[in-house]
Structure 1
């Protein structure tokens, strides 16, 4: 088996994930100050960097719906290893690594969202009513949780295929790039995230998955 579990480390990782999630909930519940649209004087558009100006400010519900395939499909990919006879016998350990990866990704992305409070692109569209108070969902642009979770699941799947030297391992990286990139693009196209939000989600999710594989991998494997 290419991975090794240690009780102390796994407890720390699980507690860290729970702690970040609790912090995200605390930040959400203590965010009670009303915030208005860009045209009220709170946001004037000058904070939009040149890269993000390439994004979309019009909602595209179809693109948003398609991005849900990445949100749910990416994290599901590592679970497919339960069908492989080689990885199946190590599946409890793989399942724990998967759970830790997704917990940390979800908790950290939620914490960042609830503290950054970045308005979504559609707030800057001309049809937005200036006197409308921005809800929590309206201020959850940074970073893209869809992209972070899709990237975490896809990168973990690719890394596990490589660690076990499975026949499809050489395609795993391309799959990870495709799932992460397409999910990020669809969220930007939906008008829900700026390009930098999607890039940050890829870095966070992929980074956590890569780190989890690295810290669990046996040194002599």
Structure 2
């Protein structure tokens, strides 16, 4: 068995996710001060760090809608293993890993967003009125939830394929990279996130999925490569 369940650990991970969601809601509840645009006048670029200046400040709804494919498609990838006869007997275990990965990714993303309160790139566009009150969505740039969820689902999918010695493991890794990268790019292109927001989302999603996978591998397999 490439993975093992230990009930106390499973309850602890799920409980941690729920506590983090509660913390995110608490932070949001306490955020009652009105927030306005951090600048007035035309955006010149010097207000943003050099890396994020590579991004976009024009709101592109088409790119934003396309990024939803990664938001939902990435997390769905591990579910596809239910169609494979080899992994189907292990599907209850896979569902537990999936639930923990996506719950923790969502919880951490929500808490970080509500704490950071970073304005989205589109409010730096010249057509944004400086005196317009920023909503919660306008202040949810850091970090990219789309990139985090797409990456978490993709990494979990690739790891599961590799763990079960599937011939398609290499393709699984390529799919994970493609889904994560494409989603992150589209969120930047849409003017919803800065480059560092998208990068942080990828790192968070990958770290959570990797940690969940590692925690569930038997100790004698943790440092052993999978035999193709």
Coarse TM-score class (shorter-chain normalised):
over 0.9
1:131 Cα deviation after fit: 1.2
Q: Is the 8 A contact 2:180 2:202 kept in 1?
A: yes
TM-score, scaled to structure 1: 0.96
Q: Deviations over 1:176-200 (max 9, x none)?
A: 1100000000000000000000000
Query: Which 5+ residue runs of structure 1 have no aligned equivalent?
Result: none
Indicate the residue corresponding to 2:114 in structure 1: 114
1:44 Cα deviation after fit: 9.4
* 1:2 is the counterpart of 2:2: yes
| Secondary structure at 1:203 match in 2 | helix
Q: Is the 8 A contact 1:38 1:44 kept in 2?
A: no
Q: Is the 8 A contact 2:45 2:53 kept in 1?
A: no
* 1:54 is the counterpart of 2:58: no
| Secondary structure at 2:71 match in 1 | helix
* 1:205 is the counterpart of 2:219: no
Q: Is the 8 A contact 1:141 1:193 kept in 2?
A: yes
**Cα distance in 2 between the residues matched to 1:128 and 1:56:** 14
Greater shift, 97-106 or 164-173, is seen at 164-173
| Secondary structure at 2:20 match in 1 | helix
Indicate the residue corresponding to 2:226 in structure 1: none
Indicate the residue corresponding to 1:64 in structure 2: 64
TM-score, scaled to structure 2: 0.93
* 1:89 is the counterpart of 2:89: yes
**Cα distance in 1 between the residues matched to 2:76 and 2:141:** 24
TM alignment of 1:120-135, pairs within 5 A: 120-135=120-135
Query: Which 5+ residue runs of structure 2 have no aligned equivalent?
Result: 222-228
**Cα distance in 1 between the residues matched to 2:154 and 2:197:** 18
Relative distance call for 1:216 and 1:172 in structure 2 (3 A) is same
Relative distance call for 1:39 and 1:181 in structure 2 (3 A) is same
Q: Deviations over 1:127-177 (max 9, x none)?
A: 101110000000000000000000000000000000001111011111111
**Cα distance in 2 between the residues matched to 1:39 and 1:92:** 51
* 1:15 is the counterpart of 2:12: no
**Cα distance in 2 between the residues matched to 1:29 and 1:58:** 30
Number of aligned residue pairs: give it. 220
CA-atom RMSD in angstroms: 1.5
1:46 Cα deviation after fit: 5.1
